[in-house]
Amino acid sequence: MSNEGKSFWAFLGGVAIGALLGILFAPAKGEETREKMADAARDWSERAKRKAEDLRDTVNGKTAG
């Protein structure tokens, strides 16, 4: 795995852990916390999909031709 790939996963992991801890320690009702966590999970999923698409395009661009 390239340094770029490792950096991406380290960054994504740090964001996930930080957001999860922030949500869990925030003073909110359980339902609100679960909703925030679901929203954050959807956001992370979308970011991961975009990053995967970018990486795929980069690899395809380097291997084409």
Residue 1 pLDDT: 62
Which tens digits make up the pLDDT trace of 4-53? Answer: 777 888 888 888 888 888 877 877 787 888 888 889 889 989 999 999 99
Please, which pLDDT band fits residue 65 given cuts at 50, 70 and 90?
Answer: low
Report domain extents, the chain: 3-60
Q: For the whole prediction, is pTM greater than 0.75?
A: no
Higher confidence at residue 54 or residue 20? 54
Distance from C-alpha of 27 to C-alpha of 12, rounded to nearest angstrom: 25
> Residues 6 or more apart from 20 whose CB is under 8 A from it?
37, 40
